[in-house]
Amino acid sequence: GNSVTQMEGPVTLSEEAFLTINCTYTATGYPSLFWYVQYPGEGLQLLLKATKADDKGSNKGFEATYRKETTSFHLEKGSVQVSDSAVYFCALSADNQGGKLIFGQGTELSVKP
């Protein structure tokens, strides 16, 4: 079946450090891929998405590239801020599945000043 695997957290970084959160997926066909973020005390928000191979999603300095050959969608940011501290979820939406999302387990990021 379809699934998403993320690197385990928590991830602790100093401000201005480089961030990578790994995400790989298993799916038939050509899924759409998403990163959602959950800030402390808030609901899930879409961070970025990509709908086909080699697409790059980007938002708020974060980027992720849809790599079909490695079935990956790693999240990167060149310089993190304290305000980026949150839980990040990778997710996929498979073909002909009505848009339902399959999530990874989440990766908690803590950025220290």
Partner 1 sequence: GAGVSQTPSNKVTEKGKYVELRCDPISGHTALYWYRQSLGQGPEFLIYFQGTGAADDSGLPNDRFFAVRPEGSVSTLKIQRTERGDSAVYLCASSLVGQGVGDTQYFGPGTRLTVL
Nearer to partner 1, 20 or 105 (CB): 105
Contacting partner 1 (CB under 8 A), which of 19, 21, 23, 49?
49
Do the strands 3-6 and 23-26 form a parallel or antiparallel pair, or are they unpaired? antiparallel
Q: Give the nearest distance from C-beta 32 to partner 1 in angstroms.
A: 4
Nearer to partner 1, 51 or 83 (CB): 51
- Is residue 79 within 8 Å of 70, Cβ to Cβ? no
Nearer to partner 1, 7 or 17 (CB): 7
Contact pattern for partner 1 over residues 5 through 44, marking x by CB under 8 A: ---------------------------x---x-----xxx
How far are the Cα atoms of 31, 73, 96, 112, 113 from residue 35, in angstroms, in the given order? 13, 9, 20, 22, 24
Q: Give the nearest distance from C-beta 26 to partner 1 in angstroms.
A: 15
Handedness of CA 100, 37, 73, 3 (dihedral sign): negative
